[in-house]
Every structure is written in C-alpha cells, then in structure tokens.
Structure 1
C-alpha cells in the first residue's frame, strides 16, 4: 500500500521520472514476492531454470499449502526463467537507468529503494519476534501458576494450518489440549499490557519512519497552521468600541 501511495504522490506532483522509478520498484517488488512464493523460497537457481514452472502467488489463499506448485496457486504459461527476466530483471534495469538519469539525487533515490526493498521485507520478521515473545510469556504464566480449572479445547485448523492439534505433549505424556484458567487469565492481562506498549511503539515507528517517507513532499510552501479569522463577526464577550462623542 505504501508503494502504491508513493507512486500516486509522484504522479500527483507531476514527477514523471520519479513515477517511473516508483512503478518499476513496485513491479520489481511484486515479481520478487511472486518468485518467493510461486517458484521457490529456498533456491534462487530455480528462478533462472528454463524448464522450471512458475505459479501465480495469491495472497492468503495458499496459507498452509507451501510454495510453488502447491495445488492452490494457478500455473502461469511461462517458464521460471522468463518470469524472472520480465518481472525482476527488466523492471530492476528500468529503475536503475531512470534513477541514474536524476544524477546524484537519482542515485540516492535508487539506493533508498534498493535498501528499502530489503529492509521493508525483513522488517516483517518483527511479527515473528512478537509472536515468539507472546508464546514464551504466555507459556511461562501457564506453567508457573496452578490451573484451578481446566477448560478443554477442541482441535482447530484454519486453511489447512493446524492451530490446535488433537493431542499435545505435557511432561512427556500426550494429553488432550486444555486451557488452565488462572494462568490464562493472569497471562492475558500481563501480556496484553506489554504487547499494547509494543504495539504503540511500533505504530510510532511506522508513522514517522515508513509512512511519512511516502507522503512527505518538499514543495517549498511554508507551513501555515489552520486558523479561523473573523471578518464580519466578533466574540460575544468582546466589548463594542464606542463612537466618540460629538461636541458643538
């Protein structure tokens, strides 16, 4: 979404060279993501295989089914090598040439896009880190506090992903999953407070680091805060100026 908004802002301000760079960056990024999910996430050499196949990555639909030809992603009528050339190498070359046309500013912009492609993708690893912290803290309260009441939980699977298995290991013994009431209650309160603080800090980072970089445009217009100026009215408590007395 941020990349699309960046492209929109470039077109809005008639910065056509920068718009071409933004569009080619979006093209490259989508091709890169499709290569990860639609071809292989483990082997880059598979991207350049002239006999390899490529599948169209469909967000959310293929969760739990793996990558590549997983039976869910539709097959595209081209080889993996051709897709890599059209959707990764070609837009990357266009972005490079168009950026260098802007001289030093274009070079800085190109480096920013190149680093951003990696950093924005890797930054989503923080979601994995937060989930890991949530799991560790929750399990700590569950294991340290007595259960008091054990609430049974049925097996749950979503889109092929097993969320709650039929049986879990507890002290080396397979048992049916359950929720210990006291540990779950205390853990939810404490973890909720901590994760609320983390969510607040991450929201600030997203606003000031990532989102503002997409919206800010140095147009040279001085900032003037919104203000209401009265032209034909006056506040109720403001004294009325009296006309001077006329003397003979």
Structure 2
C-alpha cells in the first residue's frame, strides 16, 4: 500500500490513475525561442547563422580560416557588388547580401540587434507585414548602395534591414503617440557610428528610409490588406526600377 493524504492507496490504483493523466511536454529550444522572440525573428536569425556557417565551411574548403568567411566563393557570389548587378545582371545580390556577414562579430552584433528590436515590431505588425518591412528595408539599403556607392566594393550584412526596423518602430510609436526621444537618441548614435571606416552609411540610410516608407504605408492603410500589399509591391517596383534604370552608380556618372 502507498501512504496518501488520507489513508492508503493501492499501487495498482495509483498506476491506473497516472495512466490517464496527460503529461506536460516541455517545448523544444526552437519552439521556446519562437514563442519568446516571434517566429519570423527567430527564423531570420536562424537563416543568417546558417548562411554564415555555409560561408565558413566554404572558406575552410578553400584552405582559408573559417572565420575569414568573406574569402569564400559563396560570399563572393552572393555579396552585394554594384557592378555585378548592373553589368552582369546578377540581381539576386540586392537581397542575398543582406544575409551575409563579414566575420563572427559582425554577425553577432546584427543578430543581437534583431533580437532586441524585432520581437516588438513583429508583435505590433503581425508576421507577414513585419517580414515585408524587413525585406523592403534590406532592398532599400542595397538600392542606396547601387545608386551612390563604390561599384567594386563588396557590401554585406543585415544592418540595412535592422535600420529599417528602427524606422518602422518610430512610425509605430508616432501612431501610438509614444515618446520618441529614446529612439531618436539611439538612431543618432547609430548614424554617428555609421561614419566609421568599413561601415556602410549609405546602406543604413537607405534601409532606414525604406523602413519608414513601408511602415507608413502599412499604418496609413491600416486593415485594408489589398492596399497594403499593393503599396508594398509598388514601393518595391520603384526601387528595382531605379536600380535597372541607372547603369552605373551616380558618383561614377558624375552626378
């Protein structure tokens, strides 16, 4: 017999009772992360980390230090190099460059920023609008680099998309009539940092502007999904048209 709160229980009865009890399953690490940070944010971080691993393995297979992933063939084929977009027709670089990072520190800083700001924006916008703003911001950064950057300089990183998310947060805070001083201070600090060597100011500003425009469109259209989708498509088309219409960066053309 087994002692109970009142009297004793038969072991067979205890086993029979436990058999009908539904055990609580603990969520896996990925499931817990998706609930805490949001499914899109978690997926974006996972994709960026996976791409970094692929470039590191590619570098190692070529006899390079894996941490020098920018020396890999994968990095060379998918980073944003303006002249390859305009002259070789490699348009995919406008987006793929946003998922590449130059070294582990670059990756870690961007992913930390994404985990800090992404979940709140994902919760406010919903998953597809959030993802759309992220991708449009990444494209906006690439367009700015295409129009005004150095033709042969490789550029990579999620920074443009993250700046776009900061712009999106600003629009959402204005719509909710929240105090912007903290966000504006953070943006000012990051813009100053963008003037440091090997940091793409153009990409950051392009992503910020694209994020502002995309989120303003979403907030203005509110629950009119068709208008929101159409507006995002038009915004994307305008940016891509600008890239295709200008055969060389404007600085090369003397403009």
Per the TM superposition, whether the score is higher than 0.5 is: no
Indicate the structure with greater helix content: 2
Bigger relative contact order, structure 1 or 2 (CA pairs below 8 A, ≥6 apart): 2
> TM-score w.r.t. structure 1 length?
0.27
